[in-house]
Structure 1
Amino acid sequence: MATQHTYRVIVRGKWDALTAESRAKLLAEVNDHGLSQLRFTPEGSLAYDAALQSFTYRYVIVSDASDGEEMAAALAEDRAETALKAAGLGYRELRSSATDMDTMKINRKGRQPQGS
């Protein structure tokens, strides 16, 4: 079995050709989709503001380490597209960035070097 890694992926896009009904629904739910509610989850967490210009999804993707960040990003974009299409929401210009959480180095601030 291949080694699995956990990736955090941010998918960004722009709203496109929203119907009046879609705009009204998004605006009615805007307070539920602010930055303070944004989390990395397997289902994806959607954030946008009342301007309805752009949006962000955050995903946790677990996939084979050998497939790398590119595959994790592609999987997250596919999930975002599926969710947006299911909701009947128009979008364009999806782009993503992925971070491999299993290889990420953590710099601890305020840590004193040994011997100090």
Structure 2
Amino acid sequence: MSTRTFRITVRGVFDGLTDEQRAALLADAAQHDVLRAAFTPEGTLTYDIAARPAFVFRFAATGEEEEDILEATEQAEETAKAWLGERGYGFKNLRSTAEDLAQAPLGKRQRRAARANGF
């Protein structure tokens, strides 16, 4: 059985931030810029609090079976909630999407390489 790779995105909106919390997020904004976005096992947070109160966590996970994506998504949501909760950041409208890369459509270069290799 092969290992599957999942990409999980958890989105939400900061809610009820104090002036101090907002200032802390602004101070750390460069570390959470979208240009640093990556899917990682521990999760990568991006936001632009100066523009809007939305945030995105990106997680990478693995599993043996297609159904493992559900558990990985739940774990990603819990990790995001824990990170926000530890810092006292309120949030709302939390929602997640997940993609099993084994089922992702091939891009143009990947299709070309597959044809060249006789697949």
What is aligned with 1:40? 39
Q: Give, in whole Å, the separation in 1 of the partners of 2:80 and 2:108.
A: 33
User: TM-score with structure 2 length normalisation?
Assistant: 0.81
Q: Give, in whole Å, the separation in 2 of the partners of 1:87 and 1:64.
A: 33
Q: Aligned pair 1:14/2:13, yes or no?
A: yes
Q: What is the CA distance between 1:64 and its match in structure 2?
A: 4.3
Aligned CA distance change for structure 1 residues 78 and 64 (closer, same or farther; 3 Å): farther
Aligned CA distance change for structure 1 residues 78 and 3 (closer, same or farther; 3 Å): farther
Farther off after superposition, 36-45 or 94-103: 94-103
Matched length = 113
Aligned identity (percent) is 35
What is aligned with 2:77? 77
Q: Give, in whole Å, the separation in 2 of the partners of 1:12 and 1:72.
A: 15
What is aligned with 2:86? 86
Q: What is the CA distance between 1:52 and its match in structure 2?
A: 4.2
Q: Whose helix fraction is larger, Structure 1's or Structure 2's?
A: 2
Q: CA RMSD in A?
A: 2.3
Q: What CA deviation, in whole Å up to 9, does each residue of 1:38-88 have, x standing for no partner?
A: 110011100000234100000012234252433322221111001111122
Give structure 2 stretches of 5+ with no counterpart.
none
Q: Structure 1: which 4+ aligned runs deviate by more than 3 Å?
A: 109-114
Aligned with 1:89: secondary structure?
coil
Q: What CA deviation, in whole Å up to 9, does each residue of 1:88-114 have, x standing for no partner?
A: 211111101101123323222483967
Aligned with 2:30: secondary structure?
helix
Aligned with 2:103: secondary structure?
coil
User: TM-score with structure 1 length normalisation?
Assistant: 0.83
Q: Give, in whole Å, the separation in 1 of the partners of 2:105 and 2:29.
A: 35
